[in-house]
Structure 1
Amino acid sequence: MSVHKMSPRDIRRLGLEALAEALGPVGMARFLQQFETGAGDYTEERKAWLDDMDVEAIVEKIK
């Protein structure tokens, strides 16, 4: 069956099976951990960090 006709659930299942076969269960887990989305709202946090800074202040921090 073509992946274009598969549901997202089926693609995920086949992908996980392929990873487990190629890497083993521990390797699969380590691979998947690389794509953890994390937590928080980066946009809001960045705004809080940079809200009172202008371009010149940012350049000074980089130096």
Structure 2
Amino acid sequence: MITDMKPLIEINQQAIHLLYKELGVVNAVRFFKQFTRGYGNYTQERDVLFANKSLDEIVSEIEKRRKKK
């Protein structure tokens, strides 16, 4: 069987539509997110964010933020 090759953009749009239809928007987005690599350098960001802080200080900040919600 020989079929016409669709443009990749058309295939992507059709696949996204099918995923939304079958899984719902939320679960389709969750599916897509597993394939994204993210960005930035968490190791460097973490070193800057938590520099000179003890574990107790970090836990205390987390607890304060949770109480505000």
Interval containing the TM-score (normalised by the shorter chain): 0.5 to 0.7
Query: Using CA pairs below 8 Å that are at least 6 residues apart, which structure has the higher relative contact order?
Result: 1
Q: What 5-or-longer segments of structure 2 have no aligned partner?
A: 41-69
Q: Which runs of 5+ in 1 are unaligned?
A: 41-63
Q: Which is helix-richer, 1 or 2?
A: 1
The alignment yields a C-alpha RMSD, in angstroms, of 2.2
**Runs of 4+ with >3 A deviation:** none
Return the TM-score normalized by structure 1.
0.52
Aligned residue runs from structure 1 range 1-63, under 5 A: 5-39=5-39
How many Å separate the matches in 2 of 1:3 and 1:37? Answer: 34
Larger Rg belongs to: 2
The percentage of counterpart residues that share the same residue type is 28
Q: How many correspondences in the alignment?
A: 39
TM normalised by structure 2 equals: 0.48
Which residue type is aligned with residue 29 of structure 1?
Answer: V
Which residue in the other structure is 2:64 paired with?
none
